[in-house]
Amino acid sequence: MKDNTPRAGEQARTAILFVCLGNICRSPLAEGIFRAVVSERGLEHAFHLDSAGTGAWHAGSPPDPRSVATARRFGLDISGQRARQVEPEDFSRFDIILAMDRANVGALRQRAPKEAHERIHLFLDYALGRPEEIPDPYYGGDDGFAAVYRTIREASDALVARLAERDGSARISGQASSTI
Residues that bind ligand 4NP (CB under 6 A): 20-26, 57, 136, 138
CB of 78 to ligand 4NP, least distance (A): 12
Least distance (Å) from ligand 4NP to the CB of residue 107?
A: 11
8 Å CB contact between 70 and 145? yes
What residue number has its CB nearest to ligand 4NP?
22
Out of 13, 25, 26, 153, the active site residue is: 26
CA nearest 133: which of 152, 109, 108, 111?
152
Catalytic (active site) residue 25: no
- In angstroms, the Cα distances linking 177 to 11, 43, 63, 167, 168 are 11, 18, 36, 10, 12
Q: Output helix, strand, coil percentages for the chain, rounded to the nearest 5.
A: 45, 10, 45
Closer by beta carbon to ligand 4NP, 21 or else 97: 21
Q: What burial letters (b/e) apply to 15-38, b meaning 16+ CB within 10 Å? A: bbbbbbbbbbbbbbbbbbbbbbbb
* Residue number with CB closer to ligand 4NP (22 or 32): 22
Q: Which of 20, 64, 90, 101 is catalytic?
A: 20
43 versus 56: smaller Cβ distance to ligand 4NP: 56
* H helices present in 89-141, as ranges: 90-93, 102-111, 123-128
From the candidates 136, 153, 167, 171, give the one annotated as an active-site residue: 136
20 among known catalytic residues: yes
How far is C-alpha 16 from the geometric centre of its chain's CA atoms? 5
**Number of Cβ atoms within 10 Å of the Cβ of 70:** 25
Nearer CB in complex with ligand 4NP: 57/92: 57
136 is catalytic: yes
**Which sequence positions are flagged as catalytic?**
20, 26, 136
